[in-house]
Amino acid sequence: MNRNQPSRHRILGRLVSPAVRQAVIEDFEEQRQYLAEREGRLAAAGWYWFQVAGLAGERLRSAFTASPGMLANYLRVAVRSLRKNKVHSLLNVIGLTTGLATFILIALYVQFELSFDRYHAQADRIYRVVRDEYCFSPPPLGPRVRDQFPAVASAARVMRDSDVLVSRGDRHIIEQELYWADPAVLDIFTIPFRQGDPRRALATPDALVLSESTARKYFGGENPLGQSLTLFDRQKFVVTGVFADMPANSHLHMGMMAPLDTWFRSTGSDSAAWSSNYVYTYLLLRPDADPQAVQDGFLDMEKEVMTGLGADVPPGYERTYGIQPITEIHLHSHRQQEVSPNNDMAYILLISAIAVLVLLIACVNYMNLATARSLPRSREVGLRKVVGARRGQLVAQFLGESVTIILLALGLSLVVAWLALPWFNTLVERELRFDPTANPLLFGGILLVSLLTGLLAGIYPAFFLSGFRPAAVLNRTFTGGSRPASRTRNILVLAQFAVTIVLISSTFVVRDQLHFMRQADLGYSQEQIVVLPIRDRAIRQNLDSIRTELLRRTDITAVALSDSLPNSITNFTRRDWTGKSEGEPVPIYYNTTGYDFVDLFDIEVVRGRNFSREFPADAAGAFLVNETAVRTAGWDDPLEREFVHWRGDRGKIVGVVKDFHFQSLHQPIAPLYIFLDPGTASHLSVKIRSTDVSATLAAIEKEFRRFSPNWPFEYTFFDETFARAYQDEQRLETVFGVFAGLAVVIAALGLFGLAVFSAEQRSREMGIRKVLGASPVGIALLLSREFLAWVLVANVIAWPAAWFLMDRWLDAYAYRVEPGAAPFAASALLAVVIAALTVSVQALRAAMANPVDSLRRQ
């Protein structure tokens, strides 16, 4: 064992009296090694630094409390110096307030995002079954896994049903959050019951469990237990329980629960069919279980199942189900069929980085302004030293000042954050609450971060200023800033502006991409189309009559039926359709439509023809395919080729449509077929000619009401649904824009402070120059030049960083802009203009000053 390791314990050694230093170091070293052997190096290091930090805190406290009179004095001097330099203090406080307020809001948001699904008491043992990029699993999987896997304690399946008509008496409401669920879901998830018995709530076939707010919606103040509700206008259910609303940080939001078995029975679905995937399966593992064991078990299970179904298991078959922890769903799962839209860890990291950067910029400001003020402060330091102040006391005094400022800024930033929270909530689409008592950890953390910011910002100036030699500073010729100090300042300004420019140019690139996506020719028209969801069977049975009635009006030019709309075709089949036997089958997306879909949406038919009522054979089965499908299959002539729908319906390919973007621009265009089958439509699209839109809508509603009096009438304009598709990008643009703006403000504040300092410091020089005949403009330029040069250099550093970042971001899009020079040039220009404006105000003032004033002081 090495007894003496002074270099390793330099910080520790400084914290204790030299009289016992060696003994302390030895004791710490012994304890650290003891821990390292028993708990591991990391735990030992953690322990060590925790102890050192604690000692530092104690040391600081005793420095203040050893002489309470001095503490009061530090405070008094801090307040005095703040009041004496109002401009500087104001710049500092504004900068730090902005930085901290940003940090507080983002911290609230990030904490909320990280907390998703952790409220379950057994959160670390709950997993969801997934497969490749999909979340659904087949119904028999859950029970089989529960019975055969020793690591699995319990399994529950839930199936979401949206657009469900729920009626109580003659009140009809469409519910989006009905879940058909296994009773075990109440054991696995933490769902506290307000009324009823969770153990028996889903035991009867007609049981219905409501969330508190759903219960209130239907029953107001009445006791809902034992009351009944009717689903789909025909099935009666009895309320057996009321549970507390699921928290906002849950990926599932159940409004109603009913037994899954009832659904199987009433729809005649085969709960043993492995071929169709439509339930979410959640597993509760045993406390000591290894998730990998479950993962491995899936492959065997699947081979058994395939053999049982009479299918061959190809050699080397590896693809199978997987599990993901429930706590990772919100930030790490980017699959199709997610219950609710998820966030992305990359986004969380990005926004956290922005928060820290903005705070750092504010810190840098403080450092710059504090060192820049060294000239007036140096006299104070010198005098204090002459009358006997020790360096440690001076350091404590300057740190005290920065902590005072930061506490002031913290108070203000809490107010600002509280005021800005409603706006921020709309921006991030959350309902964050500002409640220190409910969230002591976060607010304690914010206090800690503030103090650390204060120390970080104060420590450089503190050591810099306290290091002056009294004999030098009290001499009249002392001019403050030494060369290394001003170089540090310039580098800090450079860093600030580099960060700012990265933010600005990123904003421009995001905006470009957004613009590109909005303007892109998607291959179908979006305007003047009203979309009506078809929910009621009565509507579906009378579509012909409704269509004929609607087309009779002059303000309606076309009516089309389709299962999916052209902007979101997500159904696909993996059936081998290309006729190529080698390799994995390529998935092909599909849409089922009526005759007029392609025409109404102006989708171009490049070969062959559209579906037509004039060809009676079409009704028996007809297909359109897109160009990508033709290319993928390698067909020379797709027309008249035999094709098969996933259900087994056969028909001929009658035409080829031009490729259109049937998903967001993130995805490349994939193979697609359109099958003529008006019967399975779930959307009715109506093309209108806008003379009096509300009259047209009223007419359509009247037509619907004829057949479906109970269901609420709902419609959307197609171009509106389309605008919603790029919400994420729009939000990112706003977030970047706002934070870039803040960074600009803070950086400009700092620059302004420096300009003031520089002008003050060189006032005599400028006075002499003026007397010797320099023009005011020349002087202003002279003063501004230095700063502008640094801002320009900042650009050079920022560009590659921004380009790299944005290139990575754009990689997520199959169709993207190439970030050209424009965004970077624009942000450079913006930064330079802002810097020039900031600096020149001060420079001009200095240039216009009467030289007599500055020279008289000699």
The answer to whether 755 and 365 are in contact (CB under 8 A) is: no
User: Strands, DSSP E only, in 245-371?
Assistant: 256-259, 280-285, 321-325
- CB 463, min distance to another protein, A: 22
Within a 13 Å sphere around the CA of 18, how many CA atoms are in the beta-carbon half?
A: 0
| CB of 455 vs another protein, minimal distance in Å | 19
Which token pair is 466? 């306290």
CB nearer another protein, residue 45 or residue 617: 45
**Which range binds another protein by CB under 8 A, 13-21, 129-137, 179-187, 373-381?**
13-21
Options 14-22, 357-365, 537-545, 760-768: segment touching another protein (CB under 8 A): 14-22
Whole-angstrom Cα distance, residue 450 to residue 438?
Answer: 20
Strand intervals (E) in 603-720? 605-608, 622-626, 642-644, 650-657, 672-676, 683-688, 716-717
Asked whether position 54 contacts another protein by CB under 8 A, the answer is yes
Backbone angles phi, psi at 344, to 5 degrees: -130, 130
**39 touches another protein (CB under 8 A):** no
Q: Whole-number minimum distance, CB 183 to another protein, in Å?
A: 47
- Least distance to another protein from the beta carbon of 26, Å? 7
Using rule CB under 8 A, residue 51 touches another protein: yes
24 or 825, CB closer to another protein? 24
Instruction: Pull the structure tokens for residue 199.
Output: 């153990």
At closest approach, how far in Å is the CB of 69 from another protein?
A: 15
Instruction: Please give the structure tokens belonging to residue 347.
Output: 């986004």
Q: Which is nearer to another protein, 47 or 347 (CB)?
A: 47
**Span interacting with another protein, options 22-30, 131-139, 145-153, 159-167, rule CB under 8 A:** 22-30
Q: Does 17 bind another protein (CB under 8 A)?
A: yes
DSSP H helices, 323-438, are 329-332, 345-372, 374-386, 391-428
Q: Does 574 bind another protein (CB under 8 A)?
A: no
Tokens 């600030």 sit on residue: 496
2 binds another protein (CB under 8 A): no
- Least Cβ distance, residue 462 to another protein (angstroms): 22
For residue 10, state whether it binds another protein (rule: CB under 8 A). Answer: no
Tokens (6 digits) for 4: 């003496």
CB of 73 to another protein, least distance (A): 20
* Closest distance of CB 394 from another protein, Å: 21
Please, which residue, 50 or 804, has the CB nearer to another protein? 50
Instruction: Determine the Cα–Cα distance for residues 22 and 13; give it in Å rounded to an integer.
Output: 8
Residue 41 interacts with another protein (CB under 8 A): yes or no: no
How far apart are the C-alpha atoms of 698 and 77, rounded to whole Å? 74
Sign of the torsion angle spanned by Cα atoms 716, 718, 723, 728: positive
State yes or no: residue 31 binds another protein (CB under 8 A).
yes
Q: How far is the CB of 58 from another protein (least distance, A)?
A: 6
Which of the ranges 55-63, 333-341, 394-402, 463-471 carries the binding residues for another protein, by CB under 8 A?
55-63
Measured between alpha carbons, how far is residue 817 from residues 516, 575, 666 in Å? 7, 35, 12
Shortest separation between residue 11's beta carbon and another protein, angstroms: 12
Determine the size of the site formed for another protein (CB under 8 A). 24
- Which residues make Cβ contacts (< 8 Å) with residue 690, sequence separation at least 6? 528, 555
- Among positions 8, 16, 335, 533, the unique one binding another protein when judged by CB under 8 A: 16
Task: Identify the residue among 18, 287, 308, 583 touching another protein (CB under 8 A).
Answer: 18
Q: Are 471 and 350 in contact (CB under 8 A)?
A: no
Kindly state the smallest distance separating residue 60's Cβ from another protein, in Å.
12
> Which residue stretches of 520-552 are H helix?
537-541, 543-551
482 binds another protein (CB under 8 A): no
| DSSP strand pairing (572-573 vs 588-593) | antiparallel
Q: Find the binding residues for another protein in span 332-361 (CB under 8 A).
A: none
Q: Treating both helix axes as pointing N-terminal to C-terminal, what angle do 345-372 and 86-114 enclose, rounded to 10 degrees?
A: 160
234 contributes a contact to another protein by CB under 8 A: no
Rank residues 19 and 387 by Cβ distance to another protein and give the closer one: 19
Element counts in the chain: helices (H) and strands (E): 29, 23
Binding mask 56-95 for another protein (x = CB under 8 A): --xx--x---------------------------------
Choose the stretch contacting another protein; rule: CB under 8 A; options: 17-25, 191-199, 222-230, 271-279.
Answer: 17-25
The CA distances from residue 203 to 53, 184, 189, in Å, are 57, 10, 17
DSSP lists the bridge partners of residue 590 as 673
The strand pairing partners of 172, in sequence order, are 167
Q: Using CB atoms within 10 Å of the CB of residue 392, give its burial: 0 to 12 exposed, 13 to 18 middle, 19+ buried.
A: exposed
Q: Are 333 and 134 in contact (CB under 8 A)?
A: no
CB 681 within 8 A of CB 563: yes
* 598 token code pair: 């392609």
Based on the shown chain and the rule CB under 8 A, indicate whether residue 12 belongs to the binding site for another protein: yes
Adjacent-strand bridge partners of 325: 127
In the complex, the smallest distance separating the C-beta of residue 3 from another protein, rounded to whole angstroms, is 7
User: Could you say whether residue 19 binds another protein (CB under 8 A)?
Assistant: yes
Piece of 23-31, 247-255, 368-376, 387-395 that binds another protein (CB under 8 A): 23-31
Question: For another protein, which residue of 27, 270, 300, 719 counts as binding (CB under 8 A)?
Answer: 27
Which residues here bind another protein, judged by CB under 8 A?
1, 3, 12, 15-20, 22-24, 26-28, 31, 47, 51-52, 54-55, 58-59, 62
